[in-house]
Amino acid sequence: MRYFIELSYNGASFHGWQIQPNANSVQETIEKALSLILRTSISIVGAGRTDAGVHAKFMTAHFDTEVIFVPKDLTHKLNSLLKEPIAIYKIYVVQSEAHARFDAHRRAYEYRVITRKNPFENSYAYLVNQSLDVVKMNEAAALLLKYKNFKCFSKSNTDVKTYNCDLFRSEWILEENHLLVFHIAANRFLRNMVRAVVGTLLEVGLGKLDIKDIDRILQSEDRGEAGYSVPAKGLYLTEVVYPESVFLK
């Protein structure tokens, strides 16, 4: 049978989601715990492959097993075994062909920026200790919704068939305590895309780029034309959405 797992994790102590040699990953940590509890080798597939230091407020993954278990009991055992950076919320049966990565049709991220030093946010948000023009940043962010090709924001030498993404949301929200949060949602994201988008929009807010430069950058399809990539610590995966056909009726 195929199961979905809903979870979250603090990425600060991990070298990303995906298993890699000689590095601590979220995927490997969960697989070891599942295999130990179910007493059989378990492999999991995540909805995405977050980079080192990136967090997930909400992530999904799937795994297959014929071992009989009570989902609530397995959830409790996993949380007892796993360390604090990972939390398992729910495990449930899905359609046998359901795929955590390929069936997801919407993903959302947020990026947190603080404009004043804050001991409770410093490790989980990017400090920009300068005045930002949020109105211009939102005007620039809205321009992204006109485009499909985001090659200019993709990490170089990325092996993908297409650089096209369907964006559903791109906006900055100013919250309390000098916190500024960028929200972006799309059907898919390119590697390093969100961090490059944020870095570019921050350059608009700092007056280093003009709003009209956004069109030029996107049309160039050149990573060298876009802004810098902001640190991973401020980036969070917040939503993964699937069609109803994935779930059992």
Known catalytic residue at 51: yes
**DSSP label at 11?**
G
Tokens of 239: 């939503």
DSSP 94: B
Catalytic residue among 51, 73, 103, 210: 51
The packing angle between helices 193-205 and 134-143, to 10°, is: 140
Burial state string for 8-35 with b = 16 or more CB within 10 A and e = fewer than 16: bbbbeebbbbeeeeeeebbbbbbbebbe
- Report the interhelical angle of 211-220 vs 134-143 (nearest 10°): 30
Residues 50, 192: contact at Cβ < 8 Å? no
Beta bridge mates, 106: 241
Which residues share a beta bridge with 173? 181
As beta bridge partners, residue 3 has: 63, 93
- C-alpha 165/C-alpha 197 separation (Å) is 13
Q: Which tokens in the block code for residue 49?
A: 């492959």
As annotated, the active-site residues are 51
